[in-house]
Amino acid sequence: MSSSPRRVLARAVVGALLGSTVLTGCAATLIQGNATPASGVSADVDPQQFQIIGATDDEIDQIARNALLDLNTYWAEQFPGTFSQEFTPLAGGYYSVDPADVDPAQYPNGQIGCGEPPEAVEDNAFYCDASNSYPNGDAIQYDRSFLGELAFGSGGSEGYGRFIPALVMAHEFGHAVQGRVGYPFQASIAIETQADCFAGTWTKWVADGNAPHNTIRPGELDDVLRGYLLLRDPVGTGLNSGEAHGSYFDRVSAFQQGFDDGPTACRDAFGQDRPYTQGEFSDADLATGGDAPYDQTVDEFAPQGLGEFFTAALQQQGKTFAAPTLEPFDGDAPECDGEQPDTDLVYCAATDTVGYDQGDLTEPLYADEQGGDYAVLTALAIPYGLAVREQLGLSTDDQDAVRSAVCLAGAFTAGVLNGQSSVLSISPGDADESVSFLLEYSDDPDVLADSGLTGFQLVDVFRSGVFDGLSACDIGA
């Protein structure tokens, strides 16, 4: 986040890419996360029923096999109505590799898809397009050791759950879909995020209980989104970079769009006018080392930026808005209308005050590896949204109010992204901080638990505000 003109940005967190089309693919670096219990599986697929070349009795191979058979079933059902043609199975098949223990004799001519040696898939998974004219093109290959680390962790770090390898298969299968119907205007970031969208449509089908061999519980969807943090581009990667996959927000948004709206939305929503938050660092950004100073964030950017945006937004509705006062506290919130609030984020209508606990929330959130200035601003925007609702005569103390306020935080973010703020501008990685904050604090009783939503749902509500503006936020706009 930066003032106008741009001065400071979110920190450059090195992420990782996954799942390129054709021959390209990138390694991923593990970071610490939170695992959830394994998804149930209705019935494992017999290896004789669905062949994966090079597969063993490894658990990851079984997860991949279950996912790939269900993906074939799903797309056979969806293709005719979505693309007006029948789905054709992958001609080149599927390949499992452990690069640390390769037996070339297991693979046709010692090769995986596109004539690559098995070691080419190390720390990766990729789809190989048949247009390369290789005898084993139109194929998906994956490093099962790498996917095991993503799912179950390694070296003391926790994994992101049993569904993550299935998600990777769904993303690569999305590229196989593109290989049959065409790629979105040949921009890497559009190609990759559309594949994320296709993965989201299949995941919703699984979540609805339609998959014979896969299930996912609502809480596990939070881990799916956390896993995407591993798969984003390094913060500061250019939008038009040759292998751009998208920021954390970009990839999560694409996945959730598919989850919410289905395959036709994925087909139609990835043209040249699709907005992305990905962008390059400027020289000034690099010099700052990351974020705006904490004091500037809470004392200047938050009150001035939020006040400016919502004053203008309500003026467009023919209404006036008086900006609430933002006040920090440590430990116990100030008394409000004779009661003692016991949360870290507070809106007190009696004093028209937004309060925030510096010691327990905003300062640690600012210093957190995946937090920063815009995570703090997103947190403050939520009780600020309750102030907006109060002045519109709407509820401020129920679940609908919290959901609306999260959406308003997204609408504010869209306004800044669109250049509507004279106070600040969003920098690369800022919207990623919003996603991380909502996931991390979704079940914290002192912050967001009263919303009645999972982290996945909170991010989806925020996303709706970003893409659809105030009209999505239940304030009569």
pLDDT digits (tens, 9 = 90+) for 310-346: 999 999 888 999 999 999 999 999 999 999 999 999 9
On the 0-12 / 13-18 / 19+ scale of CB atoms within 10 A, 56 is: middle
Of the candidates 389, 393, 392, which has an alpha carbon nearest to the alpha carbon of residue 409? 389
Q: For 66-80, 166-180, 214-228, 355-369, which range has the lowest pLDDT when averaged over its residues?
A: 214-228
Q: Alpha-carbon distance 239 to 260, whole Å?
A: 25
- On the question of pLDDT at 98 being above 60, the answer is yes
Can you tell me which residue has the tokens 């920090």?
Answer: 328
Predicted local confidence at residue 289, as pLDDT: 52
Rounded to 5 degrees, φ, ψ at 458 are: -60, -45
- On the question of pLDDT at 26 being above 60, the answer is no
Q: Taking residues 25-41, report their average pLDDT.
A: 33
- On the question of pLDDT at 131 being above 90, the answer is no
Rounded to 5 degrees, φ, ψ at 3 are: -75, 175
Q: Alpha-carbon distance 40 to 163, whole Å?
A: 10
Tokens of 91: 């001609």
Predicted local confidence at residue 89, as pLDDT: 96
Give the confidence band of 12 by pLDDT, cuts at 50, 70, 90. Answer: very low
Q: Alpha-carbon distance 379 to 458, whole Å?
A: 12
Q: Taking residues 285-289, report their average pLDDT.
A: 61
As a whole number, the mean pLDDT across the chain is 87
Predicted local confidence at residue 308, as pLDDT: 97
Of the candidates 187, 188, 178, which has an alpha carbon nearest to the alpha carbon of residue 140? 178
DSSP per position, 174-210:
HHHHHHHH--STT-HHHHHHHHHHHHHHHHHHHHTT-
Tokens of 67: 């996912």
Predicted local confidence at residue 164, as pLDDT: 94
Domain coordinates in residue numbering, the chain: 59-268, 291-472
Q: Alpha-carbon distance 175 to 181, whole Å?
A: 10
Contact in structure between 214 and 39 (CB atoms under 8 Å): yes
Predicted local confidence at residue 34, as pLDDT: 32
Give Cα separations from 387 to 6, 326, 396 (angstroms): 29, 11, 8
Predicted local confidence at residue 229, as pLDDT: 81
- On the question of pLDDT at 388 being above 80, the answer is yes
Model-level pTM?
0.88
Looking at residue 161, what DSSP letter applies?
-
35-44 pLDDT, tens per residue?
Answer: 333 444 568 9
- On the question of pLDDT at 447 being above 90, the answer is yes
Predicted local confidence at residue 370, as pLDDT: 87
Please give the share of the chain, as a percent, with pLDDT higher than 90: 71
Q: Which residues contact 346 (CB under 8 A, 6 or more apart)?
A: 333, 336, 353, 354, 355, 356, 383
Rounded (5°) CA angle 79-83-88: 45
Give the confidence band of 285 by pLDDT, cuts at 50, 70, 90. Answer: low
199-219 pLDDT, tens per residue?
Answer: 999 999 999 999 999 999 988
For β-strands 424-425 and 93-97, DSSP reports them as unpaired
- On the question of pLDDT at 103 being above 80, the answer is yes
Predicted local confidence at residue 297, as pLDDT: 96
Looking at residue 347, what DSSP letter applies?
E
| Chain Cα centroid distance, residue 295 | 28
Q: Please, what is the end-to-end C-alpha distance for the chain in angstroms? A: 27
- On the question of pLDDT at 254 being above 70, the answer is yes
- On the question of pLDDT at 110 being above 50, the answer is yes
Give Cα separations from 65 to 20, 47, 209, 235, 335 (angstroms): 20, 8, 18, 33, 57
Residue 97, H or E segment: strand 93-97
Predicted local confidence at residue 22, as pLDDT: 33
Give Cα separations from 257 to 186, 265, 459 (angstroms): 20, 7, 11
Please give the share of the chain, as a percent, with pLDDT higher than 70: 86
Give the confidence band of 113 by pLDDT, cuts at 50, 70, 90. Answer: very high
Of residues 113 and 20, which shows the higher confidence score? 113
Predicted local confidence at residue 49, as pLDDT: 95
Beta carbons within 10 angstroms of residue 397's beta carbon: 13
E strands, 409-474, where? 424-425
Of residues 107 and 19, which shows the higher confidence score? 107
| Chain Cα centroid distance, residue 131 | 30
Predicted local confidence at residue 156, as pLDDT: 76
| Chain Cα centroid distance, residue 313 | 27
Can you count the helices (H) and strands (E) in the chain? 15, 8
Give the confidence band of 23 by pLDDT, cuts at 50, 70, 90. Answer: very low
Predicted local confidence at residue 279, as pLDDT: 79
Contact in structure between 94 and 139 (CB atoms under 8 Å): yes
